[in-house]
Structure 1
Amino acid sequence: MRSLPELLHRTFFRTLSLLSPQGQGVLLRRYFDWWHRTPDPWRLSTEDYEQHKYRSTLESLPARPYRRIMEVGCSEGVFTATLAKTYPEAEITGVDVSERALERARARVPEGGRVRFVRADILTHEAEPCFDLVFCSETLYYLGRHDRLRRASDQLSALLGPDGVLVAVHPWPEARRLHRFLDGHASLSRLTERVFTTPPRPFTVAVYGTKPA
């Protein structure tokens, strides 16, 4: 059962989703810039729970080469750094709404020939469908209502090239709601889903593949 602060947190973001996607994006950017006024506000680089989640996510991937990777909601680039080490030949794009977070991500993983960071909002970002692997972790609950989750599912699926893989990682059992439109998307099929009961909160790693055209 969710705590009262968590329920209020979710209610706040559902209220934001009554705005236009552009208006919602502006407020989310300001919100996350405020959170990132101090480094690593969620302790992504130091908590054992977060490190376990990263390892579990990578272990859930289909074993295949990945040449182009996108991380949606990359924050300060903690997982991006892990991806850069795990896939040394891949081109990696980290996307986040907070420029403050991206400044620290660029310091952690210097941009170069194969790593870059882009400030963008998943609800409005446009990119070519050319990625072999896309991650979306701990992000969808910020988008609010079902129509925004549907839009995000369309946007995420549109990033994938042929035989692309999408990985969604969110708290369990809330992920049932957050992944609803990914599960039912016409261009995606769910390959695997693993639920981890790790304290302090369970999470699921859901892996999707593109359906043949």
Structure 2
Amino acid sequence: MAELPEHLHRAFFRMMSLLSPRGQGLFLRRYFDWWHRTPDPWRLGTDAYERRKYETTLGEVPGLPYRRILEVGCAEGVFTDVLVARFPSAEVTGIDISARALERARARTGRARFVHADLLSHGLEEGFDLVFCAETLYYVGRADRLRRASERLTGLLADGGVLVLVHPWPEAVSLHRFADSDPAVSLVARRVDTETRRPFAVAVYRRTGLNGRR
């Protein structure tokens, strides 16, 4: 079970999702710009736990050719940089709601494209072969917006495209439930790592076609 501060953190963002979508987006932009007033506030580039999570995540990705890759919630581009190295022939894009974080992401790697946008209102074209979304969905808040966020993620995929969701366990059961029930994708792998200080789950889905979406 998550510790009390994490429960309070989630409750706060559920409350913020009572705002209009525009109001919620504005709040999140300011919130994450505030966090990124100093570099790498969550130590994504130096923490051994984060490195383990990156390698575990990539170990679950099917060995398919990927031409276009998207990271949702890329922050300062630490994992984006890993993706660029792991898939050198792919076009890699990162999106994040914090303009300040993206400034550092662009300085970190010139081989990726970065877009200032949020998950619920981005204007990205679909057709990505591989989409990552990690440690992001709990900021969306209430169920209707979580459903919408999941639909936006699966809607970005090309036919046969792969979606990878990574979130704390067992909270991931709730956060991934709309992707689990989406007829446009099928679950191909799920791995739960409980041998870390903060257990997490990696869920991998593949788009099976455009028909059947509710």
1:17 CA drift (Å):
0.6
Identify which of 150, 153, 160 aligns with 1:153. Answer: 150
Give the Cα–Cα distance (whole angstroms) in 2 for the partners of residues 61 and 138 of structure 1.
17
Partner of 2:104: 104
SS of structure 1 residue aligned to 2:192: strand
1:147-190 Cα offsets, whole Å, 9 max, x none, are: 11100011001110111000000000000000010000121111
Give the Cα–Cα distance (whole angstroms) in 2 for the partners of residues 191 and 61 of structure 1.
10
Give the Cα–Cα distance (whole angstroms) in 2 for the partners of residues 36 and 89 of structure 1.
30
Identify which of 174, 178, 183 aligns with 1:177. Answer: 174
Give the Cα–Cα distance (whole angstroms) in 2 for the partners of residues 134 and 74 of structure 1.
11
Written as runs of structure 1 = structure 2, the 5 A alignment for 1:128-143 is: 128-143=125-140
Partner of 2:161: 164
1:39-77 Cα offsets, whole Å, 9 max, x none, are: 000000001100000001111001011000000000000
Residues 84 and 90 in structure 1, CA contact (< 8 A), matched pair in contact too: yes
Unmatched segments (≥5 aa) in structure 1: none
Written as runs of structure 1 = structure 2, the 5 A alignment for 1:1-213 is: 1-111=1-111, 115-213=112-210
SS of structure 2 residue aligned to 1:54: helix
Residues 185 and 209 in structure 2, CA contact (< 8 A), matched pair in contact too: no
Give the Cα–Cα distance (whole angstroms) in 2 for the partners of residues 23 and 151 of structure 1.
16
SS of structure 2 residue aligned to 1:43: coil
How many pairs align? 210
1:1-42 Cα offsets, whole Å, 9 max, x none, are: 222211111111000111121211110010000000000000
Unmatched segments (≥5 aa) in structure 2: none
Instruction: Give the TM-score taking structure 2 as reference length.
Output: 0.96
Give the Cα–Cα distance (whole angstroms) in 2 for the partners of residues 212 and 118 of structure 1.
27
1:110 CA drift (Å):
1.7
Residues 150 and 178 in structure 2, CA contact (< 8 A), matched pair in contact too: yes
SS of structure 1 residue aligned to 2:5: helix
SS of structure 1 residue aligned to 2:158: strand
Query: Could you list the runs of 4 or more consecutive aligned residues of structure 1 that deviate by over 3 angstroms after TM superposition?
Result: none
1:198 CA drift (Å):
3.1
Give the Cα–Cα distance (whole angstroms) in 1 for the partners of residues 123 and 22 of structure 2.
13
Give the Cα–Cα distance (whole angstroms) in 2 for the partners of residues 94 and 41 of structure 1.
18
SS of structure 2 residue aligned to 1:207: strand
Residues 36 and 101 in structure 2, CA contact (< 8 A), matched pair in contact too: yes
1:212 CA drift (Å):
2.9
Give aligned-pair identity as a percent: 63
SS of structure 2 residue aligned to 1:49: helix
Residues 70 and 135 in structure 1, CA contact (< 8 A), matched pair in contact too: yes
Give the Cα–Cα distance (whole angstroms) in 2 for the partners of residues 109 and 175 of structure 1.
30
